[in-house]
Structure 1
Amino acid sequence: MLASSAAWAQGVSNIQRPDKADGSSAQGSPFMRIFGPAQPPHGFVRFCEANPHECSSDHSQESRFDASVERLKELDEINRTVNREVAPATDLEVYGVNEYWTLPRTRGDCEDYALQKRHNLIRKGWPVSALLLTVVRDEKGEGHAVLTARTVQGDYILDNKIEDVRVWSKTPYQFVMRQSYLNPKVWVALDTRQGPLATSLSGLENESME
């Protein structure tokens, strides 16, 4: 059963703002650390070629987005709404190909959920620099895509496998790479071992559909 939005609102109202946004590399930090450039997923590159407006910068602030309680509640609402409205299905089932990133209609896989949530939040006024597509390894070691909301309050994860919006360090995932907040077409590594790991995940063909 889904946790209530009221419970989420109570939780976000108690979030403490850190003294320094990007100062810690510890796993328990509310903020991710980056380790240089990474190769973007192949499906993402093709998505941008087909949908350039979805991958353009809005020249928004480079500093972290200072999200109000109302803004943080939007993360929960969008996460739950998209998870409810889109049925899980592989790209092979829907499009007849192994990997195809797109805004879903009624069915999609993990990156499609993330793309839709990003699209919806941007329409609500969230800056592009705060909404970063992210690649992880899930509990089974398989490629998985989520959306990171980069805020002063922390890096929050919107996930089609988890209904609650959580700080990244409270998820069961190994974080591999994500979009750069400076340029949505550029990706950065989130793991010092990123090289071969990211290459193996760049297609996400073996992603979990749970």
Structure 2
Amino acid sequence: MSRVAFCRLFLSVTVALLCAANGVRAADTPGLYVRVGAHTSAPPTGWVQFCQTYARECETQRLQPRDIILTDDALSDLRRLNDWVNHHIKPMTDREHYGMVQWWRYPDDGAGACHSYALLKRRLLIEAGWPRQALLMTIVRQTNGEGHAVLTVKTDRGEYILDNLTDEVLLWSKTPYGYHKRQSQDDPNQWVWLDETRADMTATSTRLR
């Protein structure tokens, strides 16, 4: 199935998809929302690389933060999209693929690392009408200390994670990761620190799989 055809599968849902102003605080609903800290001094190197390759996609204006009102149909579509991308892209490290330690880009040739999966999921959802303010590239730490990239979908029912390592769409607090930083809701070129780690996490590495 082509990317365009896949996006069309979402139209019946996204036509009626509603968004809500982000007025729910993490402290009010433990386990639903990551605690967000200060802005980082600069975006991750990978996002800078992405913007150099896809400059027009990074020439954006600030928007009011919005959360998806997550209906059962919308959650079903997230699961379907996550599964579709995970099974249509071949996993390959950037070193194997491009001869570089890291290079964030879309997996247009059918292969990519974790960040390529997350970028494609973000693009497909935006093309299907989902608001970019609710679709946040996120860097986490695995239990072995390695860095990993996923897509956070902010909703009125919590923050859900689209991950190439599992076809399940889980609430962030149900994943095994420590949460490091992600895009700001109002500006994708601005990133924020996340104040969520796991006690059993080992020394971290900057390498993303």
In the alignment, is the contact (CA less than 8 A) between 1:60 and 1:128 conserved in 2?
Answer: no
User: Matches of 1:59 and 1:76 in 2, distance apart?
Assistant: 29
Q: Match of 2:106?
A: 103
Instruction: Determine if contact 2:26/2:34 at 8 Å carries over to the other structure.
Output: no
Indicate yes or no: 2:135 matched with 1:131: yes
For residue 33 of structure 1, report the CA deviation from its aligned partner: 1.3
**Aligned residue pairs: how many?**
179
Distance 1:49 1:106 in 2: 21
Runs of 5+ in structure 2 lacking a partner? 1-22, 198-203
Distance 2:81 2:141 in 1: 23
Sort the Cα spacing of 1:101 and 1:25 in 2 relative to 1 into closer, same or farther, 3 A. Answer: farther
Specify the alignment match of 2:51 in structure 1: 48
SS of the residue 2:121 aligns to: helix
Q: Is the counterpart of residue 178 in structure 1 residue 190 in structure 2?
A: no
Partner Cα distance (1:63, 1:93) in 2: 37
Question: Does structure 2 conserve the Cα–Cα contact (< 8 Å) formed by 1:58 and 1:128?
Answer: no
| Alpha-carbon spacing, 1:189–1:179, altered in 2? closer, same or farther (3 Å) | same
Taking only the aligned residue pairs, the percentage that are identical comes to 40
User: Who is 1:13 aligned against?
Assistant: none
How far is 1:54 from its partner?
2.7
Which residue number in structure 2 is paired with residue 89 of structure 1? 92
Contact preservation (8 Å) 2:136, 2:152:
yes
Q: 1 or 2, which has the higher strand percentage?
A: 2
Q: Distance in 1 between matches of 2:196 and 2:140?
A: 14
CA RMSD after TM alignment? 2.1
Whole-angstrom distance in 1 between the partners of 2:158 and 2:138: 15
* Aligned 1:106-117 pairs, distance under 5 A: 106-117=110-121
Q: For the Cα contact (< 8 Å) 2:61–2:187, is it kept in 1?
A: no
Q: Aligned match of 1:34 in 17, 20, 36?
A: 36
- Please give the TM-score of this superposition, normalised by the length of structure 2: 0.79
Q: Name the residue aligned to 1:191.
A: 195
Which deviates further from its counterpart, 35-44 or 168-177? 35-44
